[in-house]
């Protein structure tokens, strides 16, 4: 059983937005919604840094915990998916999500937001037919044995996707090669490169 | 390191004796520096190692930068490729909101409402209903005009609907999804949200109208304090003074005028995301809304009990508009003293209704 994770190596990300485009294209995402975004901190300064963010498929997902309809579920691969037939567009997942992943097609009076949309790790979602699945959630590349297109198309291989262990191994090699004592992580011993599922909220 | 790079600098093309001299002088200097640099050869060689150079070539991401990310801080040079870029990289307050809502508001809201219901049930079984001490005189006093009754019951119906749909949004998933299955649950929760979001603003407007029209009767007086000290007449002997509204009713009024308005205001913040209020604002609005609404729901159970099952002769005031003279004397003596000349007999009332002469306004102290 895999434990799917994304990881963006901030030292490699060049904010080309290729991942954003790849995602839009692979999943035919609704107008106005961008499942993946690239954030740049200190743009134009010496310590500029960019990072690509989408749903991080948390182990202890806050969206799942606060959803009033209980429309989220976790696949055997650790991917957090949601049922758009159950979603009422209350926006609670957006309040709770650490990464700003959930988005809504509308933002109208009386809390009319439409159905929430977010990254599916290219794993589709619950639907009767393949066509319905594609129309509601986008492509299901995982079912075809492929990884999310954003990571597959990343030109600098900053964005990594796959089983947490594999991703951690790749990242560890890079860190060793770079000669950093603790890589891109903080000095927190619990946030080691071996433990990508580290939950910062636990404040160990 | 400096010396090594300098030796690699290609010399400019010579032009004339002056430059030749300059070049010779430069060469000498370089030789001297080269000799001097022998002492630091080890370091220089190490620097030439491409792997080592890589480590110093690009500035690494520091722990400080990750701390900046974690804090939710953005700064002026923050860029987000998404079109609504008012969100920072990490929603730092999201976890706080989740903990407040899931670990505090949900369970303690349920405890407050359940505890209140249990206390009322216990009170009913031990103390029982408050009956009229004297027999009814048959003469009636108009307490609530048709307009006030209509307003009260509309607000009451909306309140109950909002309380039930709100509770369903907070706690329903723990009960009804497993109980009824996804098809029914999807319909149920969607209806809850729509009802809550569309009826909420109507409730808010009507609540304000009701509060304004009842403010004169609810201004606190000295005897209200005595009313509270005697537990509304339950402690000690004899009746406690009360005007049109007694101390308890006034407390309920002012609770609605404070917490109720807070719940309505925070509800508007949540209900109209079209004004672009951020995630953080809505987190706080949600906590205020939930805490206030759960508290009001718990207290409302007391109001409902006292107005219906708990007190003989109270409910008819809000249904027919008229209360019995005895009830007025026992529960609102000061009001009774002021309006006792306006009593009407039941026959008169029936005749009035048959004649269709319309509703007179409620008996007010003249």
- pLDDT tens for B263-315 read 999 999 999 999 989 899 999 999 999 999 999 999 999 999 999 999 999 99
Task: Label residue B283 left, alpha or beta by phi (over 0 means left) and psi (-120 to 50 means alpha).
Answer: alpha
Q: Do A88 and B77 touch (CB under 8 A)?
A: no
Which residue, A1, A9, A6, is CA-closest to A162?
A6
* Prediction pTM value: 0.83
Contact B106, B289 (CB under 8 A): no
* A112, β-bridge pairs: A108
Q: What is the dihedral of CA B231, B212, B155, B336, to 10 degrees?
A: 50
Report pLDDT for A173: 84
Residues B41 and B30: their CA atoms lie apart, in Å, by: 15
Indicate if the pLDDT at residue A196 is higher than 70. no
Return the minimum-mean-pLDDT range out of A145-154, A194-203, B179-188, B349-358.
A194-203
B62 touches A at CB < 8 Å: yes
B239 assigned to some structural domain: yes
Residue of B24 and B349 predicted with greater confidence: B349
B29 assigned to some structural domain: no
Q: Do A86 and B68 touch (CB under 8 A)?
A: no
Return the minimum-mean-pLDDT range out of B17-31, B134-148, B220-234, B302-316.
B17-31
Probe site for chain B from A69, A85, A171, A175 (most B CB atoms < 10 A): A69
Nearest CA in chain A to B171: A68
Q: Is the ipTM, as predicted for this complex, more than 0.85? A: yes
Nearest CA in chain B to A62: B98
Residue A66: CB atoms within 10 Å: 22
Residue of B199 and B77 predicted with greater confidence: B199
Q: Do B177 and A70 touch (CB under 8 A)?
A: yes
Contact B324, B346 (CB under 8 A): no
Q: Do A100 and B172 touch (CB under 8 A)?
A: no
Q: Do B193 and A65 touch (CB under 8 A)?
A: no
B46 assigned to some structural domain: no
Q: Kindly state the average pLDDT of the residues A5-16.
A: 93
Q: What percent of chain A has pLDDT over 70?
A: 87
Q: Kindly state the average pLDDT of the residues B125-143.
A: 93
Q: Do B61 and A184 touch (CB under 8 A)?
A: yes
B87 touches A at CB < 8 Å: yes
Residue B7: CB atoms within 10 Å: 11
Half-sphere exposure of B246 (CA within 13 A, CB side): 24
Report pLDDT for B13: 45
Q: Do B94 and A95 touch (CB under 8 A)?
A: yes
- Identify all chain B residues contacting A95, using CB atoms and an 8 Å cutoff: 94, 97, 279, 282-283, 286
Tokens of B188: 């149920």
Indicate if the pLDDT at residue B324 is higher than 90. yes
Identify which of A43, A85, A98 has the shortest CB distance to residue B90: A98
Q: What is the mean pLDDT of chain A?
A: 88
B248 Cβ neighbours under 8 A, 6+ residues apart:
B227, B232, B306
Q: Do B193 and A90 touch (CB under 8 A)?
A: yes
Report pLDDT for B6: 41
Domain that holds residue B164: 109-355
Place of tokens 């190490």: B46
Tokens of A177: 């090669």
B350-362 tens-digit pLDDT = 888 777 655 566 6
Report pLDDT for A180: 54
The CATH number of whichever domain residue B178 belongs to comes to 1.20.950.20
Of all helices (H) and strands (E), which one includes residue B115?
Answer: helix B106-126
All structural domains of chain A: 4-202 (3.30.70.20)
CB pairs under 8 A between A and B: 165
B211-220 tens-digit pLDDT = 999 999 999 9
The segment with the largest mean pLDDT, out of A10-19, B11-20, B39-48, is A10-19
B49 Cβ neighbours under 8 A, 6+ residues apart:
none
Which residue, B283, B90, B187, B83, is CA-closest to A103?
B83
The Cα-based distances of A49 to B77, B90, B141, B178 in angstroms read: 11, 15, 77, 46
A106-117 tens-digit pLDDT = 999 999 999 999
Residue of A17 and A202 predicted with greater confidence: A17
Of all helices (H) and strands (E), which one includes residue B322?
Answer: strand B322-324
Residues A44 and A125: their CA atoms lie apart, in Å, by: 39
A52: helix, coil or strand? strand
B202 assigned to some structural domain: yes
Identify which of A39, A97, A112 has the shortest CB distance to residue B80: A39
Q: How many domains does chain B have?
A: 1
Report pLDDT for A179: 62
B303 assigned to some structural domain: yes
Contact B303, B256 (CB under 8 A): no
Report pLDDT for A203: 43
Probe site for chain B from A110, A117, A201 (most B CB atoms < 10 A): A110
Report pLDDT for B362: 67
A21 Cβ neighbours under 8 A, 6+ residues apart:
none
């Amino acid at each position: 059983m895999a434990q799917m994770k994304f990881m963006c190596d901030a030292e490699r990300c060049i904010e080309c937005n290729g991942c954003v485009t790849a995602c839009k294209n692979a999943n035919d995402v609704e107008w106005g919604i961008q499942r993946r975004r690239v954030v740049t901190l200190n743009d134009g300064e010496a310590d500029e840094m960019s990072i690509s963010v989408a749903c991080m498929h948390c182990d202890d997902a806050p969206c799942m915990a606060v959803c009033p309809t209980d429309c989220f579920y976790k696949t055997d691969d650790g991917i957090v998916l949601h049922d758009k037939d159950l979603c009422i567009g209350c926006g609670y997942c957006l309040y709770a999500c650490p990464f700003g992943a959930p988005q809504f097609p509308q933002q109208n009076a009386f809390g009319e937001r439409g159905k929430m949309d977010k990254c599916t790790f290219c794993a589709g979602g619950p639907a009767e037919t393949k066509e319905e699945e594609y129309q509601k959630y986008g492509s299901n590349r995982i079912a075809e044995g492929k990884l999310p297109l954003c990571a597959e198309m990343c030109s600098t291989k900053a964005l990594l996707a796959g089983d947490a262990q594999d991703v951690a191994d790749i990242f560890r090699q890079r860190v060793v090669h770079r000669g950093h004592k603790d890589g891109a992580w903080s000095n927190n011993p619990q946030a080691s490169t071996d433990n990508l599922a580290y939950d910062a909220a636990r404040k160990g | 390191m400096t010396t090594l790079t300098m030796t690699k600098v290609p010399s400019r093309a010579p032009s004339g004796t002056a430059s030749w001299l300059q070049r010779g002088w430069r060469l000498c200097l370089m030789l001297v520096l080269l000799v001097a640099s022998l002492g630091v050869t080890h370091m220089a060689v190490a620097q030439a190692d491409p792997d080592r150079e890589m480590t110093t070539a690009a500035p690494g991401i520091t722990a400080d930068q990750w701390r900046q990310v974690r804090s939710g801080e953005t700064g002026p040079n923050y860029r987000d490729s998404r079109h609504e870029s008012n969100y920072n990289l990490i929603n730092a307050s999201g976890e706080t909101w989740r903990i407040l809502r899931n670990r505090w508001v949900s369970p303690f809201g349920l405890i407050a409402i359940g505890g209140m219901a249990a206390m009322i049930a216990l009170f009913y079984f031990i103390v029982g209903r408050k009956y009229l001490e004297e027999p009814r005189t048959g003469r009636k006093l108009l307490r609530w005009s048709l307009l006030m009754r209509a307003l009260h019951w509309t607000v009451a119906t909306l309140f109950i609907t909002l309380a039930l749909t709100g509770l369903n949004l907070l706690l329903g998933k723990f009960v009804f999804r497993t109980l009824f299955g996804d098809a029914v649950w999807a319909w149920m929760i969607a209806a809850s949200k729509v009802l809550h979001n569309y009826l909420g603003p109507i409730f808010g407007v009507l609540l304000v109208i009701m509060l304004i029209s009842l403010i004169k009767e609810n201004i606190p007086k000295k005897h209200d304090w005595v009313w509270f000290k005697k537990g509304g007449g339950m402690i000690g002997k004899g009746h406690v003074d009360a005007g049109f509204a007694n101390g308890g009713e006034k407390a309920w009024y002012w609770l609605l005028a404070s917490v109720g308005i807070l719940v309505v205001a925070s509800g508007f913040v949540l209900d109209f995301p079209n004004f672009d209020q951020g995630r953080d604002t809505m987190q706080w609005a949600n906590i205020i809304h939930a805490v206030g609404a759960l508290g009001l729901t718990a207290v409302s159970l007391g109001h409902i009990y006292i107005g219906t099952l708990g007190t003989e002769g109270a409910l008819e005031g809000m249904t027919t508009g008229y209360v019995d003279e005895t009830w007025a004397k026992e529960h609102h003596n000061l009001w009774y003293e002021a309006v006792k000349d306006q009593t009407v007999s039941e026959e008169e009332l029936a005749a009035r209704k048959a004649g269709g002469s319309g509703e007179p306004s409620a008996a007010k102290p003249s």
